[in-house]
Amino acid sequence: MKISTGIEKLDEVLDGGVKSNSSVLLLADSLVDKSSFVQHILSARILDNDKGIYITTSKTPTNIIKNMYEYGWEYKHLVFVDCISSTLKEKPKSKYALKRKITKLPEAFEETLKLFKQALKDLKGFKIVIFDSLETFMGVGAENIAEEMKELKHLFDDTKTTCIFLLTDWGYEKQEIKKICNAVDTVVNLGTVEKKLLWMNYFQFDELPRIFFQITQTGVGLYVPKILITGPFHSGKSSTVHALSEKAVSVDRLGTTIALDHGYIEKKGIVCDIFGTPGQERFDWILKILSRDTWGVILVVDSTRPETFKRAKEMLKEVKGYEIPFVIFANKQDLGNAIKLEEIKKRLGLPDVVGTSATKNEGLEEGLKLLFDKIFKVK
């Protein structure tokens, strides 16, 4: 059986989610906030009535709860295996805690595992466990850690547990990393790349394409730096930008956009900047400026004015839309004289046409999702 991670695209690349009663490794580089990433998953599982166990070796339970609270994530009945408080000379509150500071690493590892196993046995029902994180114990040797992790697998089966181990790669030997990877059922990579001074976090499973994400106040969201909205005069581009965004500004005069619209989207697992172009031909030179480095295009057409479709296709060409993912918003579908979607598809001769109404906020999110799917084509 597969269980959802609460991150739609991650579920998709994992073919429905992670296997129940299995172990997962999140292998991260040092620039990714792997703890917040995994806390989003933890929250989703708790909301789905799993019991949560959090093994922490570097942050105190108070700090973890604080972080989850700030993101608005669920941490109800979360049980901590606290291996840090005593080291910091704080009194641990959890029943499962190292009672004193242990300086010898092998002993600390052993004690941690003991507490972990005890917690697994004590708690009934389906469990999600976060092990944050393995690098604390890398000093005892990857071989030894991997051995213990393999051993734990049986216990996961018996106690209905899915466990997510975290490991930041601080430049360990490839061999060592490989050993840890081989000890789990699923490995997901978390990494960072720089693209022209934008730092982009991604997750990646197997050889599948990287999925870029950002962690915002709404949690882990797919991240596309820039989407362009273009289309003929009066097709509803500005209205679309404003309806999609939390915050948007327009440079418009006399009811028409003369420079650009800019909006920022941060909702429902999607994060991006959107740029709207003017539609009138006399501003065509600005299309080149605005379309620079865009990841995807939304072409907005007026469903009541088929005579503008030719111009729409020209604009798509102008912004090099045919070379990157694009979708078409057949706008003003709420109007009585709007042409049917099928007819518009036929007349445009282009795929991925979505019926929208920017003023009534209909079809927009669905269309945006389709564009994101095209950008992060998984299969």
Partner 1 sequence: MVEKKKELENILKALEEIGDVVGSAVVRRDGLLIASALPSEVNSKSVAAMAAAIVGTSETSVKELEIGGFNQVIVNASNGQYVSIGAGAEAILVCLLRKSANLGLVLLEMERSAKKIGRII
List the beta bridge partners of residue 192: 201
Residues 218-237 binding partner 1 (CB under 8 A) are 225-226
Give the residues across from 25 on adjacent strands.
Answer: 165, 187
* Closer residue to partner 1 (CB): 237 or 332: 237
User: Is position 192 an interface residue for partner 1 (rule: CB under 8 A)?
Assistant: yes
Q: Smallest distance, Å, CB 162 to partner 1?
A: 33
How long is the chain?
379
Question: How far, CA to CA in Å, does 353 sit from each of 43, 96, 98, 101, 299?
Answer: 35, 55, 59, 62, 9
How far apart CA 161 and CA 23 sit, in angstroms, is: 8
Specify the residue, 284 or 362, whose C-beta has the smaller distance to partner 1: 284
- The b-or-e profile of 23-47 (16+ CB within 10 A means b, else e) is bbbbbbbeebebbbbbbbbbbbbbe
Q: Which of 349, 342, 278 is nearest to 315 (CA)?
A: 278
Our finding on whether 170 is near partner 1 (CB under 8 A) is no
Q: Which stretch binds partner 1 (CB under 8 A): 42-50, 102-110, 258-266, 321-329?
A: 258-266
Q: Is residue 199 part of the contact set for partner 1 (CB under 8 A)?
A: yes
| Contact between 302 and 308 (Cβ < 8 Å) | yes
Distance between CA atoms of residues 154 and 151, nearest Å: 6
Among 194, 307, 323, 342, binds partner 1 (CB under 8 A): 194
Q: What tokens appear for 299 in the block?
A: 């072409």
Tell me the one-letter amino acid at 375.
I
Could you say whether residue 267 binds partner 1 (CB under 8 A)? no
Task: Sketch the per residue contact string, 97 through 136, with partner 1: x for CB under 8 A, - otherwise.
Answer: ----------------------------------------
Q: Could you say whether residue 285 binds partner 1 (CB under 8 A)? A: yes
Binding to partner 1, residues 18-77 (CB under 8 A)? 31
Least distance from partner 1 to the Cβ atom of residue 205, Å: 23
Among the listed ranges 139-147, 182-190, 197-205, 371-379, the one in contact with partner 1 (CB under 8 A) is 197-205
- Tell me how far, at minimum, the Cβ of 195 lies from partner 1, in Å: 10
Q: Which is nearest to 148 in space by CA: 173, 111, 119, 191?
A: 111
Using rule CB under 8 A, residue 271 touches partner 1:
no
Q: Which is nearer to partner 1, 155 or 258 (CB)?
A: 258
Total residues contacting partner 1 by CB under 8 A comes to: 26
**Shorter beta-carbon distance to partner 1: residue 249 or 378:** 249
Rounded to 5°, the CA angle 356-362-365 comes to 90
Give yes or no for residue 251 binding partner 1 (CB under 8 A).
Answer: yes
Is residue 357 within 8 Å of 363, Cβ to Cβ? Answer: yes
CB of 55 to partner 1, least distance (A): 28
**Residue 102: is it exposed, middle or buried by C-beta count within 10 angstroms (0-12/13-18/19+)?**
middle
Taking alpha carbons only, the member of 112, 114, 151, 118 closest to residue 134 is 112
Residue from the set 93, 292, 340, 346 that interacts with partner 1 by CB under 8 A: 292
Q: CB–CB of 230/319 below 8 Å?
A: yes
| 297 counts as binding partner 1 under rule CB under 8 A | no
Q: Which of 286, 324, 341, 370 binds partner 1 (CB under 8 A)?
A: 286
Task: Determine, following the binding rule CB under 8 A, whether residue 335 of this chain makes contact with partner 1.
Answer: no
Q: Residue 100 or residue 196: which is nearer to partner 1 going by CB? A: 196
For partner 1, the closer of residues 60 and 245 by Cβ is: 245
Q: Which two tokens stand for residue 102?
A: 């242990």
Contact positions toward partner 1, by CB under 8 A?
31, 192, 194, 196-199, 225-226, 247-249, 251, 259-260, 262, 264, 273, 275, 285-286, 289-290, 292-294
